[in-house]
Amino acid sequence: MDSSREPIKPGHLAHKSSGASPLTQGEHKRLAAIRHIALDLDDTLYRGQKLFPESLPFLQLLDSLGIGYSFVTNNSSRSVSEYLAHFERIGLKATRDQVLISSHAAARKIQKLFPDIRRIFIVGAHGMAEELALSGFECVTENPEAIFIGYDPDLNFQSLCKAAWWIKKGLPFIATNPDRTCPTDSEHIYIDCGAVCAALREATGRSPDIIAGKPDPTLLQIVMDTHRLAPNELAMVGDRLETDIAMGRRASAASVLVLTGEFGRTAQQDPAHCIPAIGSLHRPDFIFPNLEAFARELMVQQNFDLLRLSTNKNSVTNGEGS
Name all domains of the chain by residue range, CATH numbers in brackets: 26-74+214-317 (3.40.50.1000), 103-211 (3.40.50.1000)
pTM: 0.82
Residue 243: φ, ψ to 5° = -120, -65
Amino acid at 159: S
* DSSP label at residue 257: E
pLDDT value of residue 263:
80
138 bridge partner residues: 119
Residue 135: φ, ψ to 5° = -85, 0
CA dihedral 293, 252, 97, 43 (to 10 degrees): -40
Transcribe 79-109 into DSSP letters.
Answer: -HHHHHHHHHHHT----GGGEEEHHHHHHHH
* Tens-digit pLDDT profile for residues 7-38: 344 334 433 333 445 778 888 889 999 999 99
CA dihedral 30, 46, 43, 40 (to 10 degrees): -40
pLDDT value of residue 228:
98
pLDDT < 50: residue spans in the chain: 1-20, 305-311, 320-322
Residue 23, CB half-sphere, CA atoms under 13 Å: how many?
23
Query: Using CB atoms within 10 A of its CB, is residue 295 exposed (0-12), middle (13-18) or buried (19+)?
Result: buried
Question: How far is Cα 98 from Cα 226, in angstroms, rounded to an integer?
Answer: 10
